[in-house]
């Protein structure tokens, strides 16, 4: 058991780092300085995280004039399908009803990107605008492959955590290529997680390999010097996200 806990602690820290209180926004209170906007940016956090992990990104996007919606969801309690049906779809429907935006953009971290892909596969892409995916496991991760059989992993990461492996039956492999504008930002710092040295092949952010983040049909791709957990807080990532939401590409030209 001690050996098992030694393996699990880095992964649990990965999920729980900087959680903080999860204060969901209402649409009426989102980005007052962009109240007339016909476009909305939805922020979706990763597995075992909360909306507070995306708060710096949210503030920076609001300062740049974007209307934002940043809500937490029970990532540890449900499967990818259930999270899409019970959280993503109702949220999109609410935004369409209350704001009637021209498009709904997304900025996602890790699992959040898979939820957008699942939503697109089930409900289409007609109102999806631009999507920025931060460290998405678009081809899964080897860490769930190796750890999902362990009881502490199953308990902590829940059903969705069992579905993010690299196998052909795992959720990422069953989703179609992107049929919307998507830019992917992949981290390259893996030193913080010793498990990555043994179990992840090639460059990685300590949780997802660079190659696994790539998505067929993506509009742009960039590697950044960051680990998985805090990629959304890096200035380079925030600026690249703004550029893609504005122009559909990461460069400043």
Tens digit of pLDDT for each residue in 195-248?
776 778 889 999 999 999 999 999 999 999 999 999 999 999 999 999 999 999
Interior CA angle at 57 toward 54 and 61, to 5°? 135
Residue 20 belongs to some domain of the structure: no
Residue 135 belongs to some domain of the structure: yes
- Report how far residue 250's alpha carbon sits from residue 195's, in angstroms, rounded to the nearest whole number: 31
Residue 28 belongs to some domain of the structure: no
Which residues lie closer than 8 Å to 24 by C-beta, 6 or more apart? 51, 70, 71, 72
Residue 243 belongs to some domain of the structure: yes
Residue 31 belongs to some domain of the structure: no
In the predicted structure, residue 31 carries a pLDDT above the cut 60: no
Confidence tier at 9 by pLDDT (50, 70, 90): very low
Catalogue the E-assigned strands of 92-214: 103-109, 128-134, 181-187
In the predicted structure, residue 2 carries a pLDDT above the cut 50: no
Closest CA to 107 of 98, 99, 116, 95: 116
- Total domains in the fold of the chain: 1
Containing 233, the helix (H) or strand (E) segment is: none
- Report how far residue 50's alpha carbon sits from residue 21's, in angstroms, rounded to the nearest whole number: 8
pTM of the full predicted structure?
0.88
Residue 33 belongs to some domain of the structure: no
Provide the domain limits for residue 77: 41-247
Longest dimension (CA), the chain: 56
Contact (Cβ atoms closer than 8 angstroms) between residue 228 and residue 208: yes
In the predicted structure, residue 26 carries a pLDDT above the cut 80: no
In percent, the amount of the chain with pLDDT more than 90 equals 76
Which CATH number is 163's domain given?
A: 3.40.50.1820
């Amino acid at each position: 058991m001690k050996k098992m806990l030694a393996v699990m602690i880095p992964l649990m820290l990965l999920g729980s780092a900087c959680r903080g209180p999860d204060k969901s926004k209402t649409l009426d209170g989102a980005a007052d300085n962009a109240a007339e906007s016909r476009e909305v940016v939805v922020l979706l956090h990763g597995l075992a995280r909360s909306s507070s992990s995306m708060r710096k990104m949210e503030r920076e996007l609001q300062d740049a004039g974007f209307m934002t919606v940043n809500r937490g969801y029970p990532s540890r309690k449900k499967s990818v399908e259930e999270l899409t049906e019970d959280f993503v779809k109702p949220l999109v429907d609410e935004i369409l009803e209350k704001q009637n935006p021209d498009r709904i953009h997304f900025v996602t971290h890790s699992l959040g990107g898979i939820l957008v892909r699942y939503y697109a596969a089930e409900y289409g892409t007609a109102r999806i605008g631009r999507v920025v995916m931060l460290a998405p496991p678009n081809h899964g991760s080897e860490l769930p492959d190796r750890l999902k059989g362990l009881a502490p992993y199953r308990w902590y990461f829940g059903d969705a955590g069992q579905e993010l492996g690299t196998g052909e039956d795992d959720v990422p492999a069953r989703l179609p290529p992107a049929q919307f504008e998507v830019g992917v930002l992949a981290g390259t710092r893996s030193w913080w997680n010793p498990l990555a040295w043994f179990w992840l092949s090639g460059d990685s952010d300590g949780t997802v390999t660079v190659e696994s983040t790539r998505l067929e049909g993506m509009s742009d791709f960039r590697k950044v010097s960051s680990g998985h957990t805090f990629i959304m807080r890096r200035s380079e990532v925030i600026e690249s996200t703004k550029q893609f939401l504005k122009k559909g590409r990461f460069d400043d030209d």
